[in-house]
Amino acid sequence: MATSLQVTGTWILIGIYAGMVLYFVIRGALSIKNISDYAVGNVSFSPVAIGLSLAASITSAATFVINPGLIAVYGLAGVLSFGFVFPVASMISLVVLSKAFRKYGQSVKALTIAQWIGVRYKSKGYALFMAFLSLLLITFIVLILVAITKVLSKSLNVDEIYILIGLITFVFGYMMFGGANSMVYTNTIQAIIMIFVAFILLGSGYEHFKGGIDAFLAKFSTIDPNLARTTNPASLLFRDYFEIIFAQAIVGIAVVCQPHIITKSLLLKKEKDVNKFLYTAVIVQMLFYSVIVVGMYARLTFPDLSIDGVPLKTDGIIPAYVLQVFAKGWVSVIIGLIVVLGLISAGMSTLEGLIQSVSTTITSDIIQVLFGKQIKNQNTYIYINRAVIIALAVVSFFITYDQILYPKLSVAILAQNGVYAYFSVAFIPILFGIFSKRSGLIPPLAASITALVVYFSVYYFLPVLVQSYQLDFGFYTKYLEGGIRNPAIASSTAIVFSALVGMALMMYQKRVEKSEIRYERLQGNL
């Protein structure tokens, strides 16, 4: 339970934060004339501001709240996976893909990934397929809503259902009007807050390091030896190096292929600004990723993962840690309130990007494609987009409420299942589209279909075969057992198979083209 001082301070901070957001939303909304302005903006921002905005967009509540909770449960193995392998892979991928994607995105004036793929491969059907698939990103919206609801509920001592209703009404309400212009403003401020909070959180457990790293890890061994190992056989996500390193590296490389991440480079107006934008984003993002270690501090604070005998849910561990650590003295409470603001900012920054990108995709790539002939006035799409956001709010509410009441380990499992499936399908067509100028439609489309089939087969169908018919897939079998499974396994497997299918068809396509050229030359000689 939060103290009365913490509750009062939190209400004051929320009031200031809400006022600031609404100011920038109004400022951004005044410059929006059409759906393109809403999607990619029409205001020129500095590359540093856009870099900070990207870092804030990538850093969701998963990074600051949900994933550290998993680390508190599973220990050092999770830090290696979520705090080292995934960050390094994702940042390398961000640098490589953002530059190339921006060049092609600028030339075709794409507003969304679905449009980019449709134009690149000259296929409206492919674009529509990717647009419908983007609905899976609603699961990520749900994760962020759960995290912010948990933080605010514990900080205000208010029932989670009331917090959720207020949160959805506020965020989805202002996102009906703000769009990309206001989002760069708000994301930049959120990123600055998050930078301060990241340092505060990282320093909050400094006393645990007295005696060095060995003494720090020894404390975990006394709680559970598995917590101090680089693999945790008792966990559901970090059992071995295949799961920790290989699967997580593949996921890290592909995770950049989300609309609120890779399309951010389209906000840059000048090519010379790209490097400064990426330097800013990568440096700040690596700081944010390091916050994962706070989960270790939380486990030492709650060795049995309970407070006064009441078990903590995985998604509530970090909010509880913040309230526990920053509750002694008014200075500590003020610092704690700043941390709460940072946790909220981490969620809001990505939530804004997801609402903007998903609603734009539904409006531009589904509704406009299917019903564009009946809608003559382009300005009508602004109002359609607002109606779409309202529909997203309703759907998100019901799924979020269910996850708050009945989570399977963590809402992270639901979110990863949706998001990982999406970028598993999108990765190869984006990769081929960027780096292979001669790639036709068949290789990437076959790769996408393969990824979709393999992902859901690994996550849903193969476990049924294992559990019902005792089929044995060797070392892979353990990843298919149990009611809760690791989405990274399904995603990495899907990406590998889709890459093999796509490359095989591309090589076959090139071989056929060479044969046709040789045949034409032979005919010419005759």
Three-class SS state of 176: coil
Q: Measured between alpha carbons, how far is 377 from 363 in angstroms, rounded to an integer? A: 14
Using DSSP, state whether 310 is helix, strand or coil: strand
CB 97 within 8 A of CB 434: yes
Q: Which tokens is 521 given?
A: 């030359």
Spans of the chain, pLDDT less than 70 = 1, 28-44, 103-111, 178-184, 259-260, 329, 378, 519, 524-526
The answer for residues whose C-beta is within 8 angstroms of residue 400's C-beta and 6 or more apart is 142, 145, 146, 149, 164, 168
Residue that the structure tokens 């939303």 belong to: 25
C-alpha 318/C-alpha 298 separation (Å) is: 7
Q: In the prediction, which pLDDT does 264 show?
A: 77
Q: What confidence score (pLDDT) does residue 53 get? A: 80
Q: What is the structure's pLDDT at 229? A: 95
Q: Are 266 and 99 in contact (CB under 8 A)?
A: no
Q: What is the 3-state secondary structure (H, E, C) of 4-64?
A: HHHHHHHHHHHHHHHHHHHHHHHHHHCCCCCHHHHHHCCCCCCHHHHHHHHHHHHCCHHHH
Q: Computed over its alpha carbons, how large is the radius of gyration of the chain? A: 24
DSSP string, 271-328: GGGHHHHHHHHHHHHHHHHGGGGHHHHHHHHSTTSEETTEEPPGGGHHHHHHHHHT-S
Q: What is the pLDDT of residue 406?
A: 84
DSSP symbol at 312: P
DSSP-based three-state secondary structure for 430:
helix
Q: Position of tokens 């080292």? A: 84
The per-residue pLDDT for 398 is 95
Looking at residue 289, its pLDDT comes to: 94
Entry pTM? 0.87
Q: How far, in Å, CA of 244 to CA of 82, rounded?
A: 8
Q: Packing angle between helix 4-29 and helix 138-156, nearest 10 degrees? A: 140
Burial class (CB in 10 A: 0-12, 13-18, 19+), 498: buried
291: its two tokens: 């916050």
What's the rounded Cα separation, in Å, for the pair 168 and 3?
26
Instruction: Indicate the SS3 state at residue 280.
Output: helix
- Burial (0-12, 13-18, 19+ Cβ within 10 Å), 451: buried
**Token digits for 162?**
């009331």
Q: What 3-state DSSP class applies to 472?
A: coil
4-404: which CATH number, 1.20.1090.10, 1.10.1040.10, 1.20.1730.10, 1.10.150.240?
A: 1.20.1730.10
What is the number of other CB atoms lying within 10 angstroms of the CB of residue 29?
Answer: 17
pLDDT of 30:
65
**From CA 181, how far away is CA 412, in angstroms rounded?**
29
Looking at the DSSP bridge assignments, the partners of residue 311 are 306
Rounded to whole angstroms, the Cα distance separating 211 from 194 reads 29
The pLDDT of residue 182 is 66
pLDDT digits (tens, 9 = 90+) for 484-503: 899 999 999 999 999 999 99
Per DSSP, what are the bridge partners of residue 226? none
In the numeric block, the tokens 């946790």 are attached to: 343
Distance CA 25, CA 177 (A): 7
How far, in Å, are 64, 67, 72 from residue 296 at the CA level?
A: 13, 11, 5
| Distance, CA of 442 to CA of 429 (rounded, Å) | 10
Specify the amino acid at residue 380: T
Token pair 């680089």 in the structure block, residue? 230
The angle subtended at Cα 139 by Cα 135 and Cα 144, nearest 5°, is 130
Burial of residue 525 (number of CB atoms within 10 Å: 0-12, 13-18, 19+): exposed
